[in-house]
Structure 1
Amino acid sequence: MAQKARKDRAKSNSTALNNLHIGSLIVNLLFFTLHFVFRSRSLFWWFLISIPSFVCQGFMEWSGRPSYDPQTNALKKSGEDLGAQGLTEYMFDVIWVTWGVTVLVALFGNWAWYLWAIVPVFGIYKVFGMASAAKKMASGMSGAGMDGASAGAPVGNRKQRRAAA
């Protein structure tokens, strides 16, 4: 049963990575075609904005691509789950936002490069959210070690609490 799950993950990872690379090829070919037709799209900004997308694609290719034994064609490694939440999800978001901005630039001009600022702003928002949650957890943990009176709800039933007061 575990082998079936590994095969399913390998198949879904291969499909996701192939779709990712085809999508990247289509978006970038559209950009270059319109760049060479109109000559008003900035290659410098395309390169600069595309670096995070290419890094994310490369990392997902490295970690998610299944590997097979060349002689027996048996599955050796199914790869990390590309449908997982967390960092993988954020990497897909970076790629999709980059593609969207690239298509907008290709269709409407260089002003759309500014829309990519959504990515670092969202990253900063998430970092501050995680930092504030960690700060709350740390303050809650340090408060739990203090005297019993301030630790939270009193222990026991109402009659016991009256007798203690």
Structure 2
Amino acid sequence: MAQKATKALASSNTRRLNQTLLITLILHTLFWLTRFVLWRPTYPRKTIILYLLFSSPQLLINLLFERQSRPTHLADGTIKRSGEDLDAKGLTEYLWDVTYWTYGCLALVTLFGDWAWWFWVVVPLYSVYAAWTTYTGVRGGFTDSAGVPQQAGASKRQLKMEKRGGQKVQYRS
């Protein structure tokens, strides 16, 4: 049972990275087949530039995930390093969002043409929105939607004590 968590994380990372690699290969291959074999684009240079511009973040994120999260094994089969957790909150979660959104945009571009790359604009707009709400929340302190500062909530026990007249202190002599 030694290193049970390490083995579980390594197994989970390997499975998720293999699945992501397979989906990436299928979607990008379908894009290239439909764009240059089935339907000839009117402006192939524009199609290639848009593809490189909008799919490169997802490809770089996949490379980053591979380098940081792919488990490494020793010659005897034991796990040397399980890799970073791919289910971590924060930046990793945002990188997965970019990856999945790019998959969706790539599928739309494959079906409907180059104009569907406009859907990718949602990613930076969401980033600006998230940064702005974080900035205003920190700048304004903890406030509600009306801008009124909120006090720290009292526990149920504290509320009961206040209802009874507050906490009574008894002094012994």
Where on the TM-score scale, by shorter chain, does this alignment land: which range?
Answer: 0.7 to 0.9
- Hey, what does 2:22 align to over in structure 1? 22
Deviation at 1:63, TM superposition (A): 1.1
Deviation at 1:79, TM superposition (A): 0.6
Give unpaired runs (5+ residues) of structure 1: 139-150, 160-165
- Hey, what does 1:142 align to over in structure 2? none
Output the aligned Cα RMSD.
2.4
- Hey, what does 1:123 align to over in structure 2? 127
Alignment partners' CA distance in 2, 1:137 and 1:81: 32
Deviation at 1:46, TM superposition (A): 0.7
Q: Which has the higher helix share?
A: 1
1:38 aligns with 2:39: yes
Deviation at 1:85, TM superposition (A): 1.4
- Hey, what does 1:52 align to over in structure 2? 57
- Give the alignment of 1:64-83 within 5 angstroms: 64-69=69-74, 71-83=75-87
- Hey, what does 1:143 align to over in structure 2? none
Alignment partners' CA distance in 1, 2:40 and 2:19: 29
Question: Which deviates the most, 40-49 or 30-39?
Answer: 40-49
- Hey, what does 1:162 align to over in structure 2? none
Q: Which AA in structure 2 matches 1:134? A: V
Alignment partners' CA distance in 2, 1:2 and 1:81: 19
1:109 aligns with 2:113: yes
Deviation at 1:134, TM superposition (A): 2.2
Alignment partners' CA distance in 2, 1:58 and 1:6: 22
Question: What percent of counterpart residues are identical?
Answer: 36
Secondary structure of 1:125's aligned partner: helix
TM-score normalised per structure 2: 0.76
| Structure 1 residues 4 and 115: alpha-carbon distance in aligned structure 2, compared to 1, 3 A threshold | same
Deviation at 1:137, TM superposition (A): 4.1
Deviation at 1:130, TM superposition (A): 1.7
The alignment covers a number of residue pairs equal to 146
Residues 138-160 of structure 1: CA deviation (Å, up to 9, x unaligned) = 9xxxxxxxxxxxx99xxxx879x
Residues 8-27 of structure 1: CA deviation (Å, up to 9, x unaligned) = 00000000000011000000
Deviation at 1:93, TM superposition (A): 0.7
Secondary structure of 2:88's aligned partner: coil
> Stretches of 4+ moved more than 6 A in 1?
none
Give unpaired runs (5+ residues) of structure 2: 143-150, 153-161, 167-173
TM-score normalised per structure 1: 0.80
Residues 70-97 of structure 1: CA deviation (Å, up to 9, x unaligned) = x212101111110111111111110111
